[in-house]
Amino acid sequence: METRRPAGLTQSLEAAIHQACTQALEQAETARRGFRRLDEQDLLHAEALGRDLRQRARDLTARILEEHAALRGSDLATRSLLTLPGHLERLADHMDALVDVVRLVREEGLSFTDRARQEFAMLADGTLEVLRALRDLVRTWNPAMHRHLLETARQLDARTDEIADGHLERLILGICVPRSSSAFVTVLDHLSSVRRHVVEMADRMMGPPVTE
């Protein structure tokens, strides 16, 4: 299998990056479940996972600096890896913000149309797929998987634009409830931001996408 694994990357550092990406995925899955069930325990669990993810990100920064020598003195590889913790912390921030929206929906009794719920489910599940691809990319460093991640994220971004336009049309027609509109758009924005950080992490890890 073709790989673009950085020369000198230790197994322990790779494992630490993989664990952090797995934690990000778990937080996203828990937040997704919390939205579906409107369950406070899911939301509290997602927040706890976010706190743990931030700590992992801080620890990862120190770990990368410590193992710089093992990367054969490659400043480029070290600089690329050092961007990952910041993105992981931003992932936690956006998923915490999604938890806040879920609480708002529950506490204010906001409602969404069946179509809006289906659209959210599709985008949320697609975002989880992108996060899974990132987690697996840390183990394989495979260009084909990198391309798959980028293409999936691109398609979801295009679909998000279509959904946002459709939502505005339904709002104008009075089909959507104005009180729920802000929450729905906020959810779309945070899901898009999660994917953006994942894409930036993948690009930093892998370099420019390799075309077939």
Q: Which residue has the higher pLDDT, 118 or 10?
A: 118
Give per-residue pLDDT as tens, 2-55: 788 887 788 999 999 999 999 999 999 999 999 999 999 999 999 999 999 999
Tell me how far CA of residue 5 lies from CA of 1, 25, 84, 141, 207, in angstroms.
11, 22, 15, 5, 11
Q: Assign 3-class secondary structure to 153-188.
A: HHHHHHHHHHHHHHHHHHHHCCCCCHHHHHHHHHHH
Within the chain, residue ranges assigned H as helices are: 11-37, 40-66, 75-82, 84-108, 114-140, 143-172, 178-206
Alpha-carbon distance of 159 to 75, in angstroms, equals 38
User: What confidence score (pLDDT) does residue 153 get?
Assistant: 98
Q: Which residue has the higher pLDDT, 156 or 115?
A: 156
- By the 8 A CB rule, do 137 and 146 touch? yes
User: What confidence score (pLDDT) does residue 212 get?
Assistant: 53
Distance of CA 166 to the CA centre of its chain: 24
Query: What pTM does this model have?
Result: 0.92
Q: Does domain 11-206 fall into CATH 3.40.50.300?
A: no
- pLDDT > 90? residue 203: yes
Q: Which residue has the higher pLDDT, 109 or 71?
A: 109
User: What confidence score (pLDDT) does residue 65 get?
Assistant: 86
Q: What confidence category does residue 80 fall into, taking pLDDT thresholds of 50, 70 and 90?
A: confident
- pLDDT > 90? residue 195: yes
pLDDT > 90: what percent of the chain?
71
Name the residue ranges covered by the structural domains of the chain: 11-206
Contacts of 110 (CB under 8 A, 6+ apart): 104, 177, 179, 180, 183
- pLDDT > 70? residue 64: yes
Alpha-carbon distance of 180 to 185, in angstroms, equals 9
Q: Which residue has the higher pLDDT, 56 or 3?
A: 56
